[in-house]
Amino acid sequence: MVLSAGCGGFLSDPTPTPEQTESAPETIERTSTADPTPEVADASRQRFQFEDSPFRKERVIVGINDTVNYGNFTSAASDALSYWNKYGSTYGRYDAHFVLQPNATNPDIELRRSKQVNCPKERQIGCSPTPAEETVFNGSSNHTAFVDNTTVIVRIESSSETNWRMDRNNVIHEMGHMLGLNHYNYPIWVMAPPGKGIKHSVKDVSETSYPWRDPELKVYVDTSNVSKSEQSQVVNSTQEVIEYYNSGAEDTRIKELNLELTDSQYKADIIINPGANASDIYPKGRSVDRDANLEYLVKVVINVGAEDTDRSYDLIGRMMAYLTRPGSPPPEFKQVTVGTKQG
């Protein structure tokens, strides 16, 4: 890497960006429900053509080095790069088109997913260099923390508790840094660090008409703890609940909502766990403002207590109400009660 004369930039102090765990709260002002980018970009931001970007080229090759061996990370990464190829010109400081080549031998950027990222700051779940105006990623610097030969390393922490959405958002965040964005730039829903971001408050999950960042949600039923007959009971209940919500839940839900069963726990946004000790719901999400409440969801576990299998339709339906419009159960499930825990 080369620094222009006089620039102390990030290279002398490669401030990698602090990510905490997804379980801390975070959200965004939504102008419309389920729009992944409902924010206005900062019109005053400085923008550069690709000739002046840190990569000095338009097509930036992104490789993958994945040692976690859980879930289809390539697919999550591909979704993240697609996000920037669509919205980079709106928010990014440089022109760049990311091209995913998972096995590239000498990519411009390597997405390195591992169980422990060893980022410079504690509790980070990802880190990468944020290029300053004069930064050029050309491999000629001895700052090895984030550069291997000519490849910029973007570190992503992940485990079997991490789902595709958390990985995707983490990659979107770090790749946002690659486009020159910092934690106070738009899109704040993904660039602000959890719980420490912008000062103005953003609507909490309980105040929104839809608490996810997009309308497509995958549902996984974990049948490992229950008998065959209980399995089919819960799977059937889940399927019926899904149909009810996909059809609008008596016009109480956003039209775009689309729930779908998946057989991949990694792909799942919602995990239904029958045979648990008690019926509860454990939402994970983020907060981009400075309050303690979740502002959007990234993963939710629904526990159906062993003694509640017989009424799993009612319980899952009620908990799905929280997941698709908190605080407002549709008529079908208005009378049903369940415990709620935040996790």
Total count of residues recorded for the chain: 343
Distance in Å, CB of 39 to Zn ion, minimum: 17
98 or 322: whose CB is closer to Zn ion? 98
Q: Does 27 bind Zn ion (CB under 5 A)?
A: no
17 or 185: whose CB is closer to Zn ion? 17
Q: Which stretch binds Zn ion (CB under 5 A): 14-22, 161-169, 226-234, 313-321?
A: 14-22
Torsion of CA 74, 76, 78, 80, to 10 degrees: -140
Residue nearest Zn ion, Cβ-based: 17
Identify whether the C-beta of residue 183 lies closer than 8 Å to the C-beta of residue 193.
yes
Distance in Å, CB of 21 to Zn ion, minimum: 13
Q: Does 185 bind Zn ion (CB under 5 A)?
A: no
17 or 27: whose CB is closer to Zn ion? 17
178 or 320: whose CB is closer to Zn ion? 178
CA within 13 Å, CB half, 194: 25
17 or 163: whose CB is closer to Zn ion? 17
Q: Under rule CB under 5 A, how many of the chain's residues touch Zn ion?
A: 1
Decide: residue 195, CB within 10 A, 0-12 exposed, 13-18 middle, 19+ buried: middle
Distance in Å, CB of 19 to Zn ion, minimum: 5
| Residue given tokens 């775009």 in the structure block | 256
Distance in Å, CB of 182 to Zn ion, minimum: 8
Decide: residue 52, CB within 10 A, 0-12 exposed, 13-18 middle, 19+ buried: middle
Q: Which stretch binds Zn ion (CB under 5 A): 9-17, 102-110, 131-139, 153-161?
A: 9-17
The encoded tokens of residue 174 equal 């770090």
Q: Which stretch binds Zn ion (CB under 5 A): 10-18, 83-91, 317-325, 326-334?
A: 10-18
18 or 283: whose CB is closer to Zn ion? 18
106 or 184: whose CB is closer to Zn ion? 184
Q: Which stretch binds Zn ion (CB under 5 A): 17-25, 53-61, 72-80, 267-275?
A: 17-25
127 or 321: whose CB is closer to Zn ion? 127
Q: Which stretch binds Zn ion (CB under 5 A): 12-20, 69-77, 148-156, 235-243?
A: 12-20
Distance in Å, CB of 128 to Zn ion, minimum: 8
Q: Does 17 bind Zn ion (CB under 5 A)?
A: yes
Which residues here bind Zn ion, judged by CB under 5 A?
17
